[in-house]
Amino acid sequence: MRGAERVALVTGGTGGIGRAVALELARGGDRVLFVGRSAERGEQVLVALREERPGVDHAFIRADLSLLADTARVADEVARRTDRLDAAVFCAGILSTVPEWTVEELERNFVLNYLTRYLLSRRLLPALTRAPSGRLVLVSNAGKYGDTLDLDDLQHRRGKPGLRVAGRTQFANDLLATELAARVRGTPVEVTCVFPGMVKTDVFRNSRGLPWIVRALASAVQRWIALSPAAAARTPVFLAQDVQASGTGGQFYGPRRKQLRIPARAQRADRRDALWTASEDLVRPYLAMP
Ligand SMILES: NC(=O)c1ccc[n+]([C@@H]2O[C@H](COP(=O)([O-])OP(=O)(O)OC[C@H]3O[C@@H](n4cnc5c(N)ncnc54)[C@H](OP(=O)(O)O)[C@@H]3O)[C@@H](O)[C@H]2O)c1
């Protein structure tokens, strides 16, 4: 179905924050396309979306976003389903301290947490530009991580296990947000980056490489003080859907719509340019529509 209705894409829509974002966007009137790997959870979310807004052509796109080929297929599928995209909210991600390499010979965490977002942004920008006020929201850690990105070893072949495996992908989101926001300035598209807070999701259960004691402690802390996914979804949903969020482009946000200071390291033109160029080289075979 194509036309004047609002359409949103959510990655990680099968669980955690992304699921809550998908449901809230549907409640607010959007047709929702969402991505994840689990067919079972995808079907459950689809049922919930249809309950929220019956008669709307919501869709589950099953894909592994740690693979660029699958990510490109998602972009094709979105283009097949809509000309216009009002919002893209990228939530799919993993917390891992161990580097791993996919069949595409790229580092899995780097691709899932960052490069897929770059490729989808590049592929979806034309559809976002066709919406009256297209919104692109990166749910990551907005300004929380230092610059540990080794541009000479993006696939972490020489790097060691440790928090840097995840941290560098989060910092890459910061650079992507500031660079994309600058590139779309003057268009109707707005790009924002969100740290959702500590949220009661499966993020620690799904994590890789953390010692069991850290996982157990983090899960316990999560149970007591973390936000619910629905509460954490409020800021990304506001940025993705609310008319009052126009003019937020280029900003970083925390929970409860709190605007965060953007660290100088995330605004460095040399780092933004270098990451953009390297990313463009990596995704080039996947940029064209079939
Ligand atoms: N929870 C927190 O406290 C917290 C704090 C800071 C930042 N964040 C960020 O918020 C985002 C969402 O986290 P969450 O807490 O909601 O995590 P979560 O509960 O683990 O959910 C992760 C989502 O990503 C999807 N996903 C994971 N690997 C995928 C893959 N290879 N391909 C496609 N989809 C994949 C999962 O679906 P499938 O299993 O169906 O693939 C699921 O829908 C992440 O980027 C995370 O870094 C979370």
- Segment 224-276, tens digit of pLDDT: 889 999 999 999 999 999 999 999 999 999 999 999 999 999 999 999 999 99
For 20-33, what is the mean pLDDT?
98
* Closest residue CA from atom 16 of ligand 1: 16
Residue nearest to atom 8 of ligand 1 (CA): 140
Give the three-class secondary structure for 138. Answer: strand
- Residue whose CA is at the smallest distance from ligand 1 atom 41: 37
| 3-class state of residue 86 by DSSP | coil
Q: Which two tokens stand for residue 104?
A: 């595409």
Four-residue CA torsion sign, 35, 188, 50, 237: positive
Q: Which of 10, 94, 168 to mutate to test the pocket of ligand 1 (most atoms within 8 A of CB)?
A: 94
> Are β-strands 135-139 and 7-11 bridged in parallel, bridged antiparallel, or unpaired?
unpaired
Backbone torsions φ then ψ of 176, nearest 5 degrees:
-65, -45
Arithmetic mean of pLDDT over the chain: 96
Total-model pTM: 0.98
Q: Is the dihedral of CA 11, 13, 19, 20 positive or negative?
A: positive
